[in-house]
Every structure is written in C-alpha cells, then in structure tokens.
Amino acid sequence: MVDELPPFFEQRLHRLELCAGISPASLTISNPQMLSHATSLVAITSSRLGRDPQLHLCVCRLLSRRMLELRHRQANVLVAAGSAIEPLVTRAAELFHVPVTTLCVNRKQGRGAVTQTLHREPCIIESSDSLSRDAVTIAIADQVDGVYVRRGGTIDACLRARIQTLHDTSTRVAVIPGQPSAAMELIAAGAIGWYVSRLKCVQEAVPEPVVPTTLIHHDQDWIRSDGEWLTHTTRRCVGSWPGQSEHQYQDDLLLSGPAAGIDCEWNRGPLESLARIVRSGVIVASAITSAKQYPVVCFSEVPLVDRLRRRKFRAHLGRWDDEPYGIAIRLSAAKRIGIKPVIYGDPKDRQQLASEDRYRFQAKGTTYDWTQEREWRCAASLDLQQLDQNDVRIFVPDAAQARRLNPVADWAITVLGDTLGAMP
C-alpha cells in the first residue's frame, strides 16, 4: 500500500491503473520518491536484440541521440531492472550524464539482483499478484520510447495498450531500416515515429593503411603442405572483441555514429578480426571451446587448402566454421613457444588429465568427429612478435583486402585468389 502520495506520483499510478489495469492499492512500493520528481520520466524499452551487431549499433545510436535530448530537457530515464535494454540504457545514461531510475518489479521475477544505478537506489514495486515489468514500466512513465519492438511480443502489446488508452503523443517507436519490427503498425495505431538519419562517413579522417607491396605475394605452396604449418582462421565477431570488457563494447557502440557526428558502417567481419590481430601483434585467448573455463588460442594442423574447401555453414551458430582469413605459424616454431596438440577422448577422460593439461582436452564427439580437425592450442594470448617473421604468414582472399591490413611486423601476406577453386 502507498500512503501520502508525493507530488506527481499519484498521476503516474493512475496511468498505471488505466493502461495496465493494476490497482495501486494492491502494490507495495519502496523508494516511491524515485518516481515522484517533477521532471519528465521517460521510459526506454526494447525487445531482445539477438546477435545482430548492426541492430545493436542502430539501437545504440538511437540511445545516444535520445540521451543528448533528455540531458538538454533535464528529464529522467526510467528502465526496468532485468529487461533486455537495461545494461545499454544505464551505460548510456552514465556516459551522457542523464539521471536514471531503475524500476524493479516483483524482485523474485527478475534476475535476482537489485543493482544501484548511478549510485541511486531502485524503486521497487511488488504485489502478491503476478506483475509484468514491461507493462508496469510502460504504463507508469510520462513518455515511452520503444527502441526496437518485435511484432506480437510483450513490448508490442504493452505499447498498444498505452496508445489505445491515452490517445496522446507520449509514445514513440523507432524505425530501423532493414529490420523487421512492429514500428509501422504501432505508428498506424497512434505512436510517433522515431528515426535517426544517416550521415556520410568522413573517409579522410581515417586513412587507409599503407601496406608495402613487397609483403603481398602469391606464393601458395605452403597452404598445401601437411605437418609444416598451423592455421588460425578469423571470423565475424558478435558482441565484444576477445579481451574487450562489456563496458568497452557498450562504449564503442554508444559513442560511435550520431553522438559523434559521424555515421560509419559497423563492420566486425573476419577481415576486421584479422586486422585487429595483425595491427596489435597479439591473438587474444578466449574461452570459446567446449570447456568454457579455459581461454585458449586454437589452431589446426590440417593443410589450409583442405581446411577451407571442406568448410561448412553452421546454421545454429549463424556462421561458417572457417573463413579464408587468418594467421599461420610454422609448426616447429609453435612447438618452441609451447603450443601443444589437443588430447582427444571421451568426456570422462578429462578428469584423468593433469590440471595443467586440461585446456588441451577435446571430446571426440558423436555426431561429428572432432579428431579430423587436428587441433593445437595455446593456453594464453599469443604474442606473434616473439616469433621470427619468416615463421608467420597472413592469408586473405584477394589483394584488395591484403592492402587493408597494416601488420606491426614484416609478415608475408598470402593472397589465396583462385587457389581454393570451388570453395563454398
């Protein structure tokens, strides 16, 4: 129950009852002052963003632009604890110095932890009845921004209920080109469309790397050799780069584009992954193998030409298992610096190994024979500059992409060209 309602709080609770059918009398509210300030309370909500980095970038550009507007208006942001968009909203609010209120609805239904955002306690709304955090957040706010809304989902339904009840201009929904969403249907129902225009990227600000043509060659004998080279292929990066913290990744997204006045493509493909390696000289270990607790760098002893010709598209991962981009290390040099072959066996065999060797274990598999990968692993991030330059090769599909690299050392860059024939 709520007694002695503070200013502006009563009308927000009234809106909660109108839009979501939730009676204030059934609620227990802690820290009600977080919802009682006179400044506008703007909720930001979103459906789950999935794994599409372009969608992540578009949403973050919308958030950055909106935070600049809200800071100018001296408004407060409202976000539901445990919601899909909460981490990005709270980080954006911190970066752009916008006050944010976290709304925790029935704590036992959330992620179990109530965090302090910008050193402020959350407002907690609880009831003996089941409550939808999205319905409560969307109904109680003075204005709502839907940054990405999937058709037929909970966010879609809650926004429609608000639009149909209030008949005003307080509900906005973002239009993201190329992304299927409920935006146009919600606009037809009465929401205000929200769109951030694209600005041209200033190409002169980021000059293309200059790679000596002497490093780019078509010597391809090594890609057919067996037992002489280990290869590490790069792939599209979804989410943060290896070794990049979640906050660093969020900052990359939020501080690129409109907030900086420039809108460039957000490309984290296999070439960009390779470029990060050759420009830093380090392959960062990551815990992406079957044993997630062991960060490693993985290589294969299979000849590169065979490895790429038999590559497959893994639908459940949304990517190819191998790409024609990567690094090769001479096997003899790899042995000298402690890179070791994988130990294949049955899952029960892992515990029989010494603790220092468990990073090398890989189950043989049932539906797929992992032994044919002939994998080797490095137990830590690998500094390529500790190797002789003749023991390292870089490979890419064509000369144009080779010229986009800028290695820290004089490593030879192999252009694969037509060698791979009818590679899928």
C-alpha atoms less than 13 angstroms from C-alpha of 374 in its C-beta half-sphere? 14
- At position 298, the amino acid (one-letter code) is C
369 vs 265, residue with greater confidence? 369
Distance, in Å, from the CA atom of 226 to the CA atom of 165, rounded to the nearest integer, reads: 70
Distance, in Å, from the CA atom of 300 to the CA atom of 207, rounded to the nearest integer, reads: 34
Confidence of residue 186 (pLDDT cuts 50, 70, 90): very high
Instruction: Provide the 10 A C-beta neighbour count for residue 126.
Output: 17
How many Å from the N-terminal Cα to the C-terminal Cα in the chain?
A: 64
Confidence of residue 238 (pLDDT cuts 50, 70, 90): low
Instruction: Provide the 10 A C-beta neighbour count for residue 75.
Output: 20
Could you report the per-residue pLDDT of 342-389, keeping only the tens digit for each?
Answer: 999 988 888 888 988 889 998 888 887 889 999 999 998 899 999 999
Map out the domains of the chain with their CATH numbers.
9-194 (3.40.50.450), 210-420 (no CATH)
Q: What is the pTM of this model?
A: 0.62
Distance, in Å, from the CA atom of 197 to the CA atom of 339, rounded to the nearest integer, reads: 49
Q: Give one word for 136, left, alpha or beta, with left for phi > 0 and alpha for psi -120 to 50.
A: alpha
- Which of 135, 151, 99 lies closest to 22 in space, CA to CA? 135
The CA-atom distances, in angstroms, between 271 and each of 19, 171, 267, 303 are 49, 41, 9, 21
State yes or no: pLDDT of 169 exceeds 70: yes
The CA-atom distances, in angstroms, between 318 and each of 52, 271, 275, 285, 292 are 10, 17, 22, 22, 20
State yes or no: pLDDT of 152 exceeds 90: yes
- In degrees and rounded to multiples of 5, residue 196 shows phi and psi of -105, 120
Confidence of residue 118 (pLDDT cuts 50, 70, 90): very low
Confidence of residue 262 (pLDDT cuts 50, 70, 90): very low
Residues 285, 380 contacting (CB under 8 angstroms): yes
Mean pLDDT across the chain, nearest whole number?
Answer: 82
State yes or no: pLDDT of 281 exceeds 60: yes
Q: Which of 45-59, 80-94, 178-192, 244-258 has the lowest mean pLDDT?
A: 244-258
C-alpha atoms less than 13 angstroms from C-alpha of 148 in its C-beta half-sphere? 25
- At position 170, the amino acid (one-letter code) is S
Contacts of 67 by beta carbon, 8 Å cutoff, 6+ apart: 77, 92, 93, 95, 96, 98, 259
The pLDDT of residue 349 is 84
What are the tokens at 340?
């070791």
Contacts of 120 by beta carbon, 8 Å cutoff, 6+ apart: 34, 99, 100, 101, 102
